[in-house]
Each structure stands twice: as structure tokens, then as C-alpha cells.
Amino acid sequence: MKVIAVIEADLDVTPLGTRSRLGRELGGVTILRRTVERVRRATLIDAVHVLCPVAQYEKCAALLNGTGAKLHRLDADPPPWRALVQASRKWSLDGWRGGVGGATSFDEYVSAPTIAGLLQITDADADAVLGVSPAAPFFDPALADRMIEHHKRTGRDVRLAFTQAPPGIAGILLDASLVRELVDKNIPIGWLFSYKPDTPQKDLIFEDCCCEVPVSVRHASGRLIADTDRAFERIADLFAAEPNPDLETTGRWLIERDATHVETVPREVEIELTTDDPYPDALLRPRGARLGRTGVIDPGVVERIVECVSRYDDALIVLGGFGDPLRHPRFADVLRAVRGTSASGGDDGRRSRGAYGLAVRSCGVDLSEAAIDAMIEYRVDVFSLTLDAWSPDLYRELQTPGAAAIDSPAAASLESVLAKLDLFTDARKRRGRVTPLLVPELTKALENVQELDDFFDGWIRRTGAVGVHGYNHYARGLVDRSVTPMAPAARTACRRIKTRCLVLADGSVTMCDQDYAGAHILGNVRDQSLAEIWQGADLARIRAAHESGAFNATPMCANCEEWHRP
């Protein structure tokens, strides 16, 4: 069985759209060279092919001199799904899968059309191809050999081999025939792993094509591909601690770092633009009078938040909170501020890097043509649509229980929201854009669990993406309507208080996103920087209490069951 490795390298930009770090050194060796050298150490790989843009050929040749890799000029457009993968993967960079619509880390850096083209001009007799990220300085060559041996031993009915490891540790092995089939069908690799309601199959992690790894690796989280600021920091920390770790050591190190490391600023910030909502009495989430507060955030405040968190190039912003962001009177200005352009209304030339990922969560009642155009113009990645029901009758019962008064009778109509979605998809098509990705969401509760299957399969067929969440009682602030408890039996330190935060519409920063009433305020971004609040004594005390097992640090912590979710 002849196996070759294929690596696409770009010295300017990564497949995620961030700046490339392939020429940056780690321990005196560039990232690209270190990656190729590690791939070359796999004894069952017959050849390593590196493809780079034509204009970068000489620079890449200098970086790879003496490695034995075969360098090729690449003059081809990126795969047609590149923009979709970029938007999808922003929200799950630390895992090998979990992107919106089923995208995997393999979709980021493995292009079947490119591989198929290479096979036509060289190594046409190759039986399989190992796709590898060019920025993986901790790629494990021994694991690559194990994957190849595993593939030989288990047969090739599914024609691929992979493993459940954090991005950057392993690649994906594809039979040459599968590569050509993916090209013929014009589909990305993630399609192989995604759920298809009309042709259901067992998850590939339970099939022979999944090569086992140590438990520490399977349970680890953390990107080891040097294509974002945070990932490069993680890689540098690992290199300082363990320059040449084995697989199990890498997994244990990632788990320990994830449990203790706190970023200087949160990776993800949810911003509540307004407390106004078309469904103030919605049954499954806190809205309206239950909040006990009101407010509308100023776009300038949003801009200051973004300037703070975008010091890292993988910062994520969610516009949501406990009101509907589409009801903000300056919604387009807010989007402009998040994307790095001044929201002052004038052309004053001020511009920051802006947030990497941007999502909007709404019930869709106020989805106007102006709002749709603004989301497309300012490159919203994901539009999460909170529906909670498949049938119009149940939708009405959940959104306006007891026939509560709302703005207009049509507002409680599922049909009217779906009609607005047609405007949304038409506008996206007209502009030639794949984003914002539409993700209909359902909060699973006793009242709607009977519609779960119809909702999930129906929206997968229509949009290719869907979100289902367990019911959240917000630390016993709401009646518990959950179908079954989802929290693990043994409690561990909360992950949310180390990775994300919530800013309310008045600028207040809460202890966590369970605090819909604003009962535990840590500071206000109108007169403090978010970094100061995030690194402040109050939040540090709560984190320390969680680390020591004192989960009653606050009444909210004592009653919360969402601590296990990132």
C-alpha cells in the first residue's frame, strides 16, 4: 500500500482566513519546516508533497531546503465551500469536529480537488493520501503510522482512517478512490461525518475507520495548529514544557492547561443589545418583566468591547442576551462596530481589527430587509433562529403562553417567521454569499420533546444545520422543564467563567451568562475595560473557589447545572 502525505502551504493567509505563521520560528525552526520534518518521520509514508502558491515557490523552497519534501506550485482556486467552512469552524476551533453543519478540522486544510490534481501529475499509483495541516508542529508521526497500519488491517470498506484527536496532532487518511469520488460529487470531507436523515448511518467514530488513541487524547481539547494567536500561544507553552512529547503526554498537558488556564481577555463575549423582545412571556427562556431591568446598549460601548477582545485574532462575539438584537434601533451600527469600523456614523477613518467570529441570535420576528442586508454586508457568520417548535400551534403556545398580548397577531405566527426566512435566503443568494449560516434552534423541554425528531430532521433537510439545547433553568431562576438531567454526576470547576462572559444592555458585566437578572455584577464596560473586569479580584475569587471544589461560591453557582458546558 503506497501512502503519500499532502500539505497545502500559504505563507500569507491560512484556510481560516487568519494571517499565516508558517514562516514564524518555534525553537529556532519555522512552523512549516517543523511540520514537514515531523511528517517525514512517519515510516509508512512514502513521500511528502507540499503545494504552495506560485508566487511563494522560492520562499517555500528555502524554508524546506533539505527536508526531502517535494514542492509543487499550486495555481488553483480554493474549494467552493471554503467560505462556508471558515464561518462554520470559527465556533469549534479546539475540537476536530463540531462546526456548524458538521464541518470538521479536516475541511479546513484538506482539499480533495487539489489532491486529485496532484495525483494526476505525480504518484498516480498512490493508494491513499494523508492530508496534513501545514502548521502542525506537534503532528505525531507514530500515530500516523498507527493509522496507516490500522487502515491496512481493518480493510478499506469506508476508504478512510482518522482519529479523535485535537486539531494538529493527526491528519486524515483518504483512499485515492474516495478522493476522486469527493471531487466528482463536489462535497467536502465533513459530509462523510455528517448526519443525513434520509440515509442514516452509524457515526464513523464507532466504525473501523476510527483509530483508537489514549483516553487523555480523546478527551483533550485545544488547537495545536498554529493559525490563530491563541493556538500559537498554546503551542509555544507546550513546546516550553515538552519540546518533543509523546501522544499521551500531549493529551494530559492539554487537559491540565484547559483546566487551569485563564485568557487575558475572554475568547467569546455575548452582548445583549437590548432587553426589548417580541415575546416577553416566552415560556422557555427569561424575557420581558422577568428580567427586572431594561436597557439599550450604545454602539460605542460595543466598539470598546471589540477593541479589547480583538487583540486576539480568534475573538468571538455573539449578539443575543435576553432580548432580541434585531430590536436595537442602530442594529447596523452595532454590526459595523463589531467588524472593526467606527460606529460614530461618520467616515473618521478609525478602524480596528474587529472580531473574528460574529453571530446573531434572534427569534426572527423583526427580520426586515434592512436587517438582512446589514447582516450580509457586515459578514455575520451565523444567524441563530430560536424557534423551539416544529408545528405552528406549539410555536404559538411556547412563544405567547396564555395568549399574552404581543405587538401584532402575526408576530406569534410560525408561518410569518418562515416567510421572512425566504427573504433571508433569497437575499443571500442574490448577493452570492453563503453567510450568514442559518441555524434554527430548539430548546428541548417537556412541552416540545415530542417534536424534536421532526424539528431536527426537517431543518437538516432544509438548511443542513440545526441546534438542539437542553433546557436551562438558570440556577433555579425558572421552573425546571427539562426532560432529563444532563449534568454529570461529579461536579467539576466551571469552564464558562474562564472562556466567555456576558455584557448586559446597560454595560454591566455579569458573573456568567446564567445571571439574566444582573444580580452579580462585576463591573461596567462604560467606565472600565473588559480586560480589567475579566482579570478582576471578584471573578478570580469565584474561579479559585471552583478550583477548590467550593461550588457554593455564590447562590447562583450552588444552584447552577450548566457548569459543565463550555
pLDDT (0 to 100) of residue 566: 64
User: Distances in Å between the alpha carbon of 258 and those of 250, 252, 494, 528?
Assistant: 12, 10, 11, 27
Mean pLDDT, residues 6-10: 98
Per-residue CA distances from 533 to 183, 354, 525 (Å): 50, 20, 8
| C-alpha angle 333-292-296 in degrees, rounded to nearest 5 | 10
Question: Coil, strand or helix: which one is 541?
Answer: helix
Q: Mean pLDDT over residues 491-520, rounded? A: 94
pLDDT digits (tens, 9 = 90+) for 103-124: 999 999 999 999 999 999 988 8
Q: How far apart are CA 345 and CA 341, in angstroms?
A: 10
* pLDDT at 409 (0 to 100): 46
pLDDT of residue 157: 75
- pLDDT at residue 158 in the model: 79
Give the angle subtended at the CA of 487 by the CAs of 483 and 491, to the nearest 5°.
160
Q: What is the per-residue pLDDT across 9-43, written as a single tens digit (0 to 9) for each?
A: 999 999 999 999 999 999 999 999 999 999 999 99
**141-194 pLDDT tens trace:** 999 999 999 999 886 677 999 999 999 999 999 999 999 999 999 999 999 999
Provide the pLDDT for residue 155: 67
Confidence check: pLDDT of 347 > 60 = no
Largest interatomic CA distance in the chain: 74
**Residue 353 scores a pLDDT above 50:** yes
186 or 410, which is more confident? 186
CB 91 within 8 A of CB 100: yes
> Which backbone phi and psi does 107 adopt, to 5 degrees?
-65, -25
The pLDDT value recorded for residue 351 is 42
pLDDT in tens, 321-335: 999 999 999 999 999
Residue-level pLDDT at 410: 45
pLDDT digits (tens, 9 = 90+) for 359-395: 999 999 999 999 999 999 999 999 999 999 999 999 9
Q: What pLDDT, on the 0 to 100 scale, is given for residue 552?
A: 87
Segment (H or E) for 193? helix 190-193
Say whether pLDDT at 441 is over 80.
yes
Residues in the chain: 566
**pTM for this one?**
0.94
Q: Is the pLDDT of residue 345 over 80?
A: no
CB 60 within 8 A of CB 17: no
Q: Outline where DSSP puts E strands in 224-344.
A: 268-271, 316-319
Residue 350: pLDDT over 70: no
CA 439-442-444 angle, 5° bins: 150
Q: What pLDDT does residue 352 have?
A: 55
Orientation angle between helical segments 369-377 and 414-430, nearest 10 degrees:
40
User: Quick one: 185 exposed, middle or buried, by C-beta within 10 A (0-12, 13-18, 19+)?
Assistant: exposed
> Would the pLDDT of 61 be above 90?
yes
